[in-house]
Amino acid sequence: MHLSPDQIIFWQYGFFKLNATIAFTWGLMLVLTGGSILVTRKLSLDLQRSRWQNLLEIVVTGIANQIEEVGLSQPEKYLGFLGSLFLFVAMASLFTIVPGYEPPTGSLSTTTALAICVFVAVPMFGIEKSGVGQYLNAYLKPSFFMLPFNIISELSRTLALAARLFGNMMSGTMILAILLTITPFIFPIVMNALGLLTGMVQAYIFSILAAVYIAAATRTRKPETGPETLNPTDHHEGKHHG
């Protein structure tokens, strides 16, 4: 019994090792990229198009719409990062229906890596939008004494992001494993379905929260719209945290 796919090590050479997390991540990357290439290789510009192209269009435009709804006015700019987060997490949990598969998101290392990516991407997008000085200045808002709290908030939310995804994904596989030992028939299938659902929900939450953080970082630069836009993002955050 292991808690994380990190513990399944296929190959190791000193510090370098190839564990199940990395292997399944590569597998997912292969599937995602290969599928995309297969479908986009022969894109149709007509009104008639293949169902796979249709599916991808729905997925891409759906993600773009979600990003826009959060408040990012140029979804194409953030689509690469946020969309990839969503697709990776969603695919990772979707493949749990394959026997022998361990979701890489069930490893705290992976979720930490994703959280670190978000942690780095948020200030990057913020600085790209309005410059270093103004971005750093936001940490002193509304007053200088808020600086430590702002920093703590920044760190804690990254930690929460990582822990939340890990907990949900890990629990899914754990519950399944435990249930299989207790009631081997039927009930694990129901739990598996539930796991798929929570996996999708987690993918959505993870990418939406990242979007919200980016939106907050790129928006707070405008003082006049600041308070108004902060309220809905706080609301979002509070809801998802709950």
Partner 1 sequence: MLIDWFTVAAQVVNFLILVWLLKRFLYRPILDAIDAREKRIAKELADADAKKAEAQQARETFQNKNEAFDKQRAALLSQAEEEAKAERLRLMDEARQAADTLSAKRQEEQRNKAHNLNQAVSRQVQQEVFAIARKALTDLAETSLEERMGEVFIRRLRELDDPTKADLGEALKTATDPAIVRSAFDLPAAQRSAIQNALNETFSADIPIRFETAPDVISGIVLTTNGQKLAWSIADYLASLEKGVDELLKKQDTPEPPPESNTGKSAEEHGT
- Which residues lie near partner 1 (CB under 8 A)? 3-4, 6, 15-17, 19, 21-22, 25-26, 28-29, 32-33, 36-37, 40, 43-47, 53, 56-57, 60-61, 64, 76, 79-81, 83-84, 87-88, 104, 107-110, 112-114, 116-117, 166
Supply the minimum distance, in Å, between the C-beta of residue 136 and partner 1.
24
The b-or-e profile of 200-223 (16+ CB within 10 A means b, else e) is: eebbebbbbbbbbbbbbbbbbbee
CB of 187 to partner 1, least distance (A): 28
d(C-alpha 89, C-alpha 70), whole Å: 19
Instruction: Please state the length of the chain.
Output: 242
d(CA 158, CA 155): 5
Least CB distance from residue 68 to partner 1, whole Å?
Answer: 13
Closest to partner 1 by CB, 6 vs 237, is: 6
In whole angstroms, how close is the CB of 228 to partner 1 at the nearest point? 30
The three-point CA angle 22-23-25 to 5° equals: 65
Tokens of 30: 């292969």
SS3 of 32-48: HHHHHHHHHCCCCCCCC
Least gap, CB of 45 to partner 1 (angstroms) = 5
* Distance separating alpha carbons of residues 111 and 103, to the nearest angstrom: 11
CA 14, CA 29: separation in Å to the nearest integer? 25
Cβ neighbourhood burial of 142 (10 Å; 0-12, 13-18, 19+): exposed
Closer CB to partner 1, residue 13 or residue 145?
A: 13
Supply the minimum distance, in Å, between the C-beta of residue 206 and partner 1: 12
* Residue 10 phi, psi dihedral angles, 5° rounding: -85, -35
Q: How far is the CB of 217 from partner 1 (least distance, A)?
A: 18
Q: Between 5 and 188, name the residue whose CB sits nearer to partner 1.
A: 5
How many helices and strands in the chain, by DSSP H and E?
Answer: 9, 2
121 or 212: CB nearest partner 1: 121
